[in-house]
């Protein structure tokens, strides 16, 4: 079955750059109709979508985070990654990676996420 696993540092210093990777197993990122996305959840808060990417390089970003976010894909490693620059305490959150299921008749970013990774807690603190 399809599984996703986030990895990266659990602690990041304010103003520095956060880098996370999502490793995908059970399906090849390459040559598949899916998009791959990052979603975060601040402690005790709701879900906030960050960005999606297709293996072709097509991307979608949350406009409120766009200036600080880069999403990329490494098909050779079957992974995709997130970079968030100039982090602050408000970026402290559990970061989830997930697969966006894309039916043939609906374009990317309009669809549901399934499955999700278990999430990784990232704390921004000095």
Partner 1 sequence: SYELTQPPSVSVSPGQTARITCSGNELPRHYTYWYQQKPGQAPLLVIYKDTERPSGIPERFSGSSSGTTATLTISGVQAEDEADYYCQSADSSGPSVIFGGGTKLTVL
Which CB sits closer to partner 1, 16 or 23?
Answer: 23
**Number of residues forming the site for partner 1 (CB under 8 A):** 25
N- to C-terminal Cα distance for the chain? 39
Of residues 29, 17, 15, 2, the one with CA closest to residue 88 = 15
State both tokens at 59. Answer: 């991307």
Rg (CA), the chain: 14
Select from 12-20, 56-64, 74-82, 83-91 the region that touches partner 1 (CB under 8 A). Answer: 56-64
Smallest gap from Cβ 33 to partner 1, in A, equals 15
Select from 11-19, 25-33, 77-85, 113-121 the region that touches partner 1 (CB under 8 A). Answer: 113-121
| CA 125 from centre of chain | 21
Where on the chain is the footprint of partner 1 (CB under 8 A)? 37, 39, 46-49, 52, 60-63, 96, 101, 106, 109-119
């Amino acid at each position: 079955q399809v599984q996703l696993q986030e990895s990266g540092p659990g602690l990041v210093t304010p103003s520095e750059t956060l880098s996370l990777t999502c490793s995908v197993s059970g399906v090849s990122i390459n040559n598949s109709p899916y998009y791959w996305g990052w979603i975060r959840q601040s402690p005790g808060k709701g879900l906030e979508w960050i960005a999606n990417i297709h293996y072709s390089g097509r991307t979608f970003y949350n406009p409120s985070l766009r200036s600080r976010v880069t999403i990329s894909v490494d098909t050779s490693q079957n992974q995709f990654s997130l970079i968030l620059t100039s982090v602050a305490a408000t970026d402290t959150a559990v970061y989830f990676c997930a697969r966006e299921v894309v039916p043939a008749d609906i374009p990317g970013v309009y669809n549901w996420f399934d499955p999700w990774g278990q999430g990784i807690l990232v704390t921004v603190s000095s």
